[in-house]
Amino acid sequence: MIEYSELYPCSNALRGAVTLDGLWKFQTDAKGEGEALGWRDGLPSPISMPVPASFSDFFTDPKMRDYTGDFWYETEFFLQPGWENRRLWVRFGSLTHRGRVFCNGKELVYHEGGFLPVLADITDSVRPGKPNRLVVHLNNELNESSLPCGATKVMPDGRKLAKPYFDFYNYSGIHRSVWILSMPEESIQDYSVTYTLRGEDALVHYSVVTNGTNAVRVSLQDHSGKTVAFSEGAEGTLEVTKAHLWQVRNAYLYTIVLEIVENDRVIDRYQEKIGIRTVRIEGTQILINEKPVYLKGYGKHEDFELLGRGFQWGVAKRDFECMKWTEANCFRTSHYPYAEEWYQFADEEGFLILDEVPAVGMMRSTRNFVAAGTGQYTYFFEAPTVPQLLANHIQCTEEMMKRDKNHPSVFAWSLFNEPETTSQYAYDYFSAVFAAARQLDPQHRPLTGAFEKNSQPELCQCYPLCDFICLNRYYGWYISGGPEIDEAEALLRAELDKWQAKNLHVPFVFTELGTDTLPGEHKLPSIMWSEEYQKEYYEMNFRVFDDYDFIQGELVWNFADFQTTEGIMRVNGNKKGIFTRTRQPKAAAFILKKRWEER
C-alpha cells in the first residue's frame, strides 16, 4: 500500500487544502554549507522569490541566471482553525531537481526527480497557534544517474555550470503550487478507473485504496450533478446507461465521488472529474472509443518569459486557445511530466496527451540536436552510472503513471526521448523500463518513445518494445537544409520506405519536425531561418506524410519558441516555434491551421 496520497488537492467538508503560493525567502548556497550552518532553521541572508516560478530569469546578473548548485527556500504558515487534530501534509507539485523538506527544523523527506509531486507528513512537526517554518533545500546539478541527463562543469573560480545533454534551459526552483493539506486519520489514498463500452452504455471499473478498514462507497455524477451510478466496496463497477463518452475535442466529464463510511457516517470524501473513453492500437490505427484518430498538434515545453517553467493559468489558457485555433487535437509533454493543471485543462478541452517521463539526454552531447543523425556513439548505456539511472527512470515512470493514470486526456506514455538505441546495452536497459511500465497502468495504455535520426530501422535495437513508433526527424533542417531540400525529401522517403519494408503493422507518429525561424524574417526566394522557408519545409514534410498510410500523426516541433542554453546555433533560445515565445503566430501557423481544418 502507498504511504501517502498523491491525489490532486481536494477541498470539501472533510478535507482542507490551502496554497502557500506567493513570495518566499530564497538564498543560494554555492559552497554547500547551508546544511552544516543550520539553514534548516531559517535562512541567514535571504531575498524574496515568487513561488511558483523558476528563479533564473528574474535576475540581471548572468551568474545568478545560470546558478548551479545548492539553493534554499523558506516560508511561514499558520495552522488553519480546526486542523489541530487532523493528519497534515505539505504537497509540492514538483521540486527541481532534487530536494529535502524541513518543517520547524525537522527533516521530513528527500526526493529525487524534478517534475512530479513531493509530499511530506507534517502532523508531528507543526506547532498550533504559532508560526511554522517550512524550509526546502534544493539542488539543480545535472549528472548521468538522474533524469534529465547532463553534466556539471566546475569553472576555474569554483563556480558550477550546468551542461545539459538536452536542448532546453535547465530551469530550476519550486515550479508548481505548494499546498498544506488536512485529511482525516482514515482517508482515501488513491483510486484507479478503467472502462468497458457496451453499445450506448458503459461500465466504469474502479479500485479505491484507503489506509483503513471501513466501508467504501462510490458514485458517479453527470454534468448537472445528478447521480447516475452507485456502488459499494473498495473495488467494483459503476453501470452507466446511455453514457456520454469523452471524445477528442468534444469532452464530457463526469465527477466520481469516493467516500469512506463508518457507522453510516461519511468520514472522508474525495471527488474528481473523469472521462469515459477507451484507447487501443489496432494495426496501424490509434483508436479512441474504437474510432481511428489522426494526431495533430505539437511538442511543447513548460516555458514562458520571466516565469521559466513555473506554472501560470494565464499561459495555459492562451496555449490552449492557440492550439484550438490551429485545430490541433494533441500535444506531447516534452520532455517531462507537466504540472497537473495542464492535464485538467486538456481533460476539459478534449485534447489528447502523450505523457513523457523526463528520460532525455541519454547521449553524451551538449549539442545533441546536432549529434543526432551523425552516427555518433557515446557508450552511454555502458557507464557505471546505469544501474542508478535505471532505478530513477523506473521510479519516475511509476510516479508519473500514479499521478496521471485517471486523466482521460492521457492516451499513451512516452518512456524516452532521443536516447542511443543501437546497442544491446540500450535494449537491455529499456526492456527493464518497459517491463516495469506495463505493470503500472491499470488502463494498459500504449507505450512508446521518441527516436532520433541515428535510430535507423536497420540499426535501432529498441523499436520492437514500442506499441507505436515515434520519429523525431529534421530532413530539411539539420540534414540537407536550404537549397538541398529536394534531397531532404528524397532522404525522408528513403527512410520511410525502409520502415515500410519491415511490415511492422503499427502506427508511426512524427513527434518532432521543424526549422528554426526568426519571426519577421522574410526572404524571397526563401532561405533558412526565414518564415517562408518554415512554410516550405512543412509543406514538403506533409506531402511525404500523406503518401504513407501507416503515419498516423504529426506533432510538430515546437508549439512556441523556448529558452535553451547559450550557443552559436541558438539565437536567444530555440526558434522552431510555430508561435513566438509570447504566443503570436508565425506564417507557418496558417499552413497548419489550413491542413488540420481539412483532416
pLDDT in tens, the chain (599 residues): 345 678 999 999 999 999 999 999 999 999 999 999 999 999 999 999 999 999 999 999 999 999 999 999 999 999 999 898 899 999 999 999 999 999 999 999 999 999 999 999 999 999 988 999 999 999 999 999 999 999 999 999 999 999 999 999 999 999 999 999 999 999 999 999 999 999 999 999 999 999 999 999 999 999 999 999 999 999 999 999 999 999 999 999 999 999 999 999 999 999 999 999 999 999 999 999 999 999 999 999 999 999 999 999 999 999 999 999 999 999 999 999 999 999 999 999 999 999 999 999 999 987 777 777 777 899 999 999 999 999 999 999 999 999 999 999 999 999 999 999 999 999 999 999 999 999 999 999 999 999 999 999 999 999 999 999 999 999 999 999 999 999 999 999 999 999 999 999 999 999 999 999 999 999 999 999 999 999 999 999 999 999 999 999 999 999 999 999 999 989 999 999 999 999 999 999 999 999 999 98
Sheet holding 265-274, edge to edge: 227-232, 215-221, 254-262, 265-274
Which CATH entry fits the domain spanning 279-598: 1.10.150.20, 1.10.4080.10, 3.40.50.2300, 3.20.20.80?
Answer: 3.20.20.80
- What are the angstrom distances between the C-alpha of 339 and each of 174, 175, 346, 387? 11, 8, 12, 28
Sign of CA dihedral 473, 477, 481, 486: positive
Do the Cβ atoms of 52 and 23 come closer than 8 Å? no
Nearest partner of 136 among 9, 39, 19, judged by Cα: 39
The fold of the 16-183 domain, in CATH, is Jelly Rolls (2.60.120)
The residues pairing with 193 across neighbouring beta strands, listed in sequence order, are 206
Q: Report the Cα 494 to chain-centroid distance in Å.
A: 33
Q: For residues 410 and 406, what is the distance between their CA atoms, to the nearest angstrom?
A: 8
Q: For residues 89 and 185, what is the distance between their CA atoms, to the nearest angstrom?
A: 12
Nearest partner of 314 among 281, 345, 338, 348, judged by Cα: 345
Do the Cβ atoms of 252 and 242 come closer than 8 Å? no
| CB-based contacts of 484, cutoff 8 Å, min separation 6 | none
Is 418 one of the catalytic residues?
yes
What is the helix (H) or strand (E) element at residue 393, kind and residue range?
A: helix 386-404
Check residue 6 and give its pLDDT.
82
C-alpha cell of residue 89: 501534509
| 3 state SS of 473 | coil
C-alpha cell of residue 196: 468497458
Do the Cβ atoms of 204 and 443 come closer than 8 Å? no
| CB-based contacts of 337, cutoff 8 Å, min separation 6 | 115, 116, 355, 356, 357, 358, 400, 403, 404
Provide the residue ranges of all domains of the chain, joining segments of one domain with +: 16-183, 188-274, 279-598
- State the alpha helices, DSSP H only, in 277-385: 313-325, 340-349, 368-371
Which candidate in 418, 420, 452, 531 is catalytic? 418
Is 531 one of the catalytic residues?
no
| CATH architecture for the domain at 188-274 | Sandwich (2.60)
| 3 state SS of 323 | helix
Sign of CA dihedral 353, 170, 577, 417: negative
C-alpha cell of residue 410: 492521457
Longest dimension (CA), the chain: 78
DSSP codes of every residue in 235-263: EEEEEETTPPPPBTTB---EEEEEEEEET
- What are the angstrom distances between the C-alpha of 165 and each of 361, 365, 370, 377, 433? 4, 5, 11, 14, 20
Q: For residues 240 and 237, what is the distance between their CA atoms, to the nearest angstrom?
A: 9
Measured CA angle at 105 (ends 102, 106), to 5 deg: 65
Nearest partner of 398 among 117, 94, 121, judged by Cα: 117
Residue with cell string 478535507: 15
What is the helix (H) or strand (E) element at residue 279, kind and residue range?
A: strand 279-282
Q: For residues 599 and 446, what is the distance between their CA atoms, to the nearest angstrom?
A: 23
Q: For residues 96 and 23, what is the distance between their CA atoms, to the nearest angstrom?
A: 18
C-alpha cell of residue 230: 452507485
The residues pairing with 190 across neighbouring beta strands, listed in sequence order, are 209
Which candidate in 340, 399, 420, 512 is catalytic? 512
Do the Cβ atoms of 385 and 324 come closer than 8 Å? no
Check residue 1 and give its pLDDT.
34
| Whole-prediction pTM | 0.97
Upper half-sphere CA count for residue 208 (Cβ side, 13 Å): 29
C-alpha cell of residue 425: 546495452
Do the Cβ atoms of 57 and 78 come closer than 8 Å? no
Nearest partner of 450 among 437, 462, 459, judged by Cα: 462
